[in-house]
Structure 1
Amino acid sequence: MRSAQWLSIPCFSITVHLTMDDIDLSTPIVYGSTGAWTLLIPIRKLTSFQQMKPDSSLFPEILVENPKASLHPFTQETRDSDALMHARHFSSPFSGTTEDPVTGTASGVMGAYYLEYMNAEIDQTHFVVEQGHEIGRDGKVLVSVVRDGQDMDVKIQGTAVFVEEMKVELDT
């Protein structure tokens, strides 16, 4: 994980339509990756998630250190009692999507974040992340993380459903 202390929080607020009061500064805003870089942004209250309306075209201007990263706001307030965290995932403007309803890679990063910044006295955790409620595509990811010295073994588990068929052409 890399610190993102340079992040301009007022710019983030404008980009996702939140106020400074929505952001929880008791834990850091950091970049993390389990395959794709995302910026984890702690949010105080679950009610803030309904207000979020991303303008991903502005992300590269804000994420100057990592302009192709996504934004992943999260909170420990949840809708479902079996979940530890609630999240949304605003995709990089280079990805071709605006919001991912359920994001395994970012959920894995949230597991490492939880051990590093929210519960550093334990060496392993298993919890559920809920996501997708705000766009009508509810989903859950089971996250398991084991700390081994400076390293963390991150695993995710969930189910997938067929959404749509598309044709993709690759330039060679």
Structure 2
Amino acid sequence: MRRRFVTLDVFTQQRFAGNPLAVVLESDGLDKAAMQAIAREFNLAETVFVTAPADPDNRAALRIFTPAAELPFAGHPTVGTAVLLGCMSGYNRGAHDFVLEEAVGLVHCSVEAQGKDRGRASFVLPRLPEPVGIPVAAAEAAAALSLKEDEIGFGAPSRWSAGVPAHFVPVRDLDAIGRAEPAQHFEAVFGRESRAIVYLYCGETAEPGHHFHARMFAPGLGIREDPATGAAAAAFAGVVAETARPADGEHRFVVEQGYEMGRPSQIELGMTMEGGMLTRATIGGGAILVSDGHIEA
């Protein structure tokens, strides 16, 4: 059966930058094994399968796959699919809101199509980040990332989840984060409780006006390195709230990622602090359509 798909670059407003995404629009009738096989065929960080929502008041239901596994939630698939559906709904509608059904729960999105092939979207985190499991010690983290222990900087590694658990490792500066590489024992160190997803970050940035520089490694998911990781940025809100302790009110941070890969991405992290606690967070950014075709499946 011929099924329409679209690819987009997400967390960017330029083609051939950001994080590539495949969206299969005609997914009814596909089972999990077929979806996984298609995701392996596209071989992108994630592939989204769009189906009819359980609640007709919602815009669509999404299932999200890496080349190796299904995810309950992911940021760049949510933003990219929201932009695509917004463009399909009528690019002259202006900003509008809708709800997507994902395995993690209902995801409330705001979309503004900026033409037939591009736009911006943000979503409210369906789950606020929380610390999970046991963090890796700094010395272990450094060795598993091919770094020296004194290159783990301005804080200790931690482990958080806003739907997908990840390890968060602060790195001293841009030079050190640029040299980080998964070592042979990466999976043994970071994969003790679940699949090893490791998010490195530092406060030194490649571009002015940005707040954090990040890299993400998850070879066990078929993603050696990811150009932009919205789910990890969502959980990173918990790290920022705990370590930076922003004042009460609204805050906006720009996280740059993918620069070492030649695919610069910018993820917008919104945070609301009340009484010293994180009470709301959003992830947003741009997306642009790259290709449109059909797959036999």
Instruction: Give TM-score scaled by structure 1 length.
Output: 0.81
The AA in structure 2 aligned to 1:47 is D
2:213–2:257 Cα contact (<8 Å) kept: yes
Runs of 5+ in structure 1 lacking a partner? none
Map of 1:31 onto structure 2: 159
Map of 1:140 onto structure 2: 266
Map of 2:144 onto structure 1: 15
1:38–1:91 CA distance, 2 compared to 1 (3 A): same
1:10–1:119 CA distance, 2 compared to 1 (3 A): same
2:151–2:172 Cα contact (<8 Å) kept: yes
Q: Deviations over 1:118-141 (max 9, x none)?
A: 125434421100000001110000
**RMSD between aligned residues:** 2.8
CA displacement at 1:47 relative to structure 2: 0.9
The AA in structure 1 aligned to 2:263 is R
Map of 1:126 onto structure 2: 252
SS at match of 2:185: helix
2:248–2:274 Cα contact (<8 Å) kept: no
1:123–1:146 Cα contact (<8 Å) kept: yes
Provide the C-alpha distance between the structure 2 equivalents of 1:121 and 1:70, rounded to a whole number of angstroms. 30
Query: Where do residues 88-167 of structure 1 align in structure 2 (5 Å cutoff)?
Result: 88-91=215-218, 93=220, 95-148=221-274, 152-161=279-288
Map of 1:62 onto structure 2: 189
Higher strand share: 2
Map of 1:45 onto structure 2: 173
SS at match of 1:112: helix
Q: What is the total number of aligned residue pairs between the two structures?
A: 166
SS at match of 1:35: coil
The AA in structure 2 aligned to 1:36 is V
Provide the C-alpha distance between the structure 1 equivalents of 2:135 and 2:249, rounded to a whole number of angstroms. 29
Overall identity of the aligned pairs, in %:
24
Provide the C-alpha distance between the structure 2 equivalents of 1:64 and 1:54, rounded to a whole number of angstroms. 12
Map of 1:83 onto structure 2: 210
The AA in structure 2 aligned to 1:61 is A
* Higher RCO by CA contacts (8 Å cutoff, separation 6 or greater): 2
1:68–1:92 Cα contact (<8 Å) kept: no
SS at match of 1:158: strand
SS at match of 1:67: coil
1:75–1:87 Cα contact (<8 Å) kept: yes
The AA in structure 1 aligned to 2:209 is D
1:91–1:98 Cα contact (<8 Å) kept: yes
Q: Whose radius of gyration is greater, 1 or 2? A: 2
Map of 1:72 onto structure 2: 199
Q: Deviations over 1:139-168 (max 9, x none)?
A: 000000113565531110012356789x7x
Provide the C-alpha distance between the structure 1 equivalents of 2:135 and 2:254, rounded to a whole number of angstroms. 30
2:145–2:180 Cα contact (<8 Å) kept: yes
Provide the C-alpha distance between the structure 1 equivalents of 2:169 and 2:239, rounded to a whole number of angstroms. 11
Provide the C-alpha distance between the structure 2 equivalents of 1:117 and 1:123, rounded to a whole number of angstroms. 16
1:123–1:5 CA distance, 2 compared to 1 (3 A): farther
Instruction: Give TM-score scaled by structure 2 length.
Output: 0.49
CA displacement at 1:29 relative to structure 2: 1.8
Provide the C-alpha distance between the structure 2 equivalents of 1:85 and 1:77, rounded to a whole number of angstroms. 7
CA displacement at 1:74 relative to structure 2: 0.2
SS at match of 1:160: strand
1:83–1:130 Cα contact (<8 Å) kept: yes
